């Protein structure tokens, strides 16, 4: 099982907790939906940015950046990148409206995630926590980075960097493939107050973070 990335070393030393300040408002289905008010979190930007520093072989800055600084602007930019507008936002919304996201996670997404980790590439995941047709609830979903896994007795346990939990190497998502007629169940200790309904691999391309290069 390849590893390499470790939240305690390669993740940001601060958590995904920000004061209210200008974020990102994006058009979706004919209305403006807020995704990036910093007070609501910048999880996808932190995942992508931490992975950018890891690819660059540089430890991320330890101090939380203030609004308007180069690192803050970079994290916000990477948040937008992580949504893959419009298709990526549409996928979250589609999964919010499906009852079989657990099965899709185990049968379709997990083999792709495993292949990425086996190839030495941590896998950025979109985590679906909401079952709703309301687009204004899109921001209640989450993003993490899977960097290692274990399989035992039919249970898969993913080790993940969770921006909400900070530099914690003990954060996990566990699941077992669904038995016939039964949904896939997920257990987790991610820093969110909602269950995990499913997750999918999100496309990642490296970018050069501030003060690197």
- Nearest to residue 130, comparing CAs of 55, 52, 197, 183? 197
- Residue 30 binned pLDDT confidence (cut-offs 50, 70, 90): confident
Q: Are 168 and 8 in contact (CB under 8 A)?
A: yes
Q: Which tokens hold the place of 52?
A: 């950018």
In a domain, 206, yes or no: no
Residue 1 confidence (pLDDT): 39
CB 157 within 8 A of CB 164: no
User: What is the rounded (10 degree) CA torsion for 76, 81, 82, 87?
Assistant: 140
Paired sense of beta strands 25-28 and 172-175, if any = unpaired
- Residue 210, pLDDT above cutoff 60: yes
Of all residues in the chain, the percent with pLDDT exceeding 70 is 88
pLDDT greater than 70 at residue 28: no
Cα–Cα distances in Å, from 102 out to 30, 43, 82, 140?
29, 22, 22, 18
pLDDT tens digits, one per residue of 96-153: 999 999 999 999 999 999 999 999 999 999 999 999 999 989 989 999 999 999 999 8
Q: Is residue 33 pLDDT above 90, yes or no?
A: no
- pLDDT for 55 equals 94
Could you tell me if residue 212 is inside a domain? no
**Is 1 part of any domain?**
no
The predicted-structure confidence for 62-95, as pLDDT tens digits, reads as follows 999 988 889 998 999 999 999 998 899 999 999 9
Mean local confidence (pLDDT), 20-31: 65
User: Which of 112, 46, 54 lies closest to 76 in space, CA to CA?
Assistant: 46
pLDDT of residue 82: 95
Answer whether residue 105 is part of any domain. yes
pTM above 0.75, yes or no: yes
Measured CA to CA, the distance from residue 29 to residue 169 in angstroms comes to: 38
* 167-205 per-position pLDDT tens digit: 999 999 999 876 666 778 899 999 999 999 999 999 999
Based on the structure, what is the number of domains in the chain? 1
pLDDT at 39 over 80: no
Q: Give the chain's mean pLDDT.
A: 89
In a domain, 41, yes or no: yes
Residue 96 lies in a domain: yes
Handedness of CA 177, 164, 168, 202 (dihedral sign): positive
Higher pLDDT, 208 or 22: 208
Please check the confidence at residue 206 and state whether its pLDDT lies above 90: yes
* Residue range(s) defining the domain that contains residue 60: 7-201
Helix (H, G, I), strand (E, B) or coil at 132: coil
Is 102 part of any domain?
Answer: yes
Residue 50 lies in a domain: yes
């Amino acid at each position: 099982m390849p590893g390499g990335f470790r939240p305690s070393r390669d993740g940001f030393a601060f958590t995904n907790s920000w004061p209210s300040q200008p974020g990102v408002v994006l058009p979706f289905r004919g209305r403006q939906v807020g995704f990036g008010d910093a007070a609501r979190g910048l999880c996808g930007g932190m995942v992508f940015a931490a992975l950018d520093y890891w690819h660059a072989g540089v430890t991320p800055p330890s101090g939380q950046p203030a609004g308007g600084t180069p690192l803050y602007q970079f994290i916000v930019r990477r948040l937008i990148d992580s949504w893959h507008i419009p298709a990526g936002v549409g996928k979250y919304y589609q999964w919010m409206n499906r009852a079989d996201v657990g099965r899709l996670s185990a049968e379709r997404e997990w083999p792709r995630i495993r292949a990425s980790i086996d190839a030495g590439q941590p896998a950025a995941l979109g985590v679906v926590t909401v079952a709703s047709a309301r687009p204004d609830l899109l921001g209640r979903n989450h993003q993490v980075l899977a960097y290692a896994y274990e399989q035992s007795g039919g249970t898969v346990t993913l080790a993940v960097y969770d921006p909400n939990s900070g530099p914690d190497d003990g954060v996990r998502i566990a699941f077992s493939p669904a038995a016939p007629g039964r949904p896939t169940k997920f257990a987790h200790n991610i820093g969110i107050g909602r269950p995990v309904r499913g997750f999918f691999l999100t496309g990642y391309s490296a970018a050069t973070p501030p003060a690197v290069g």
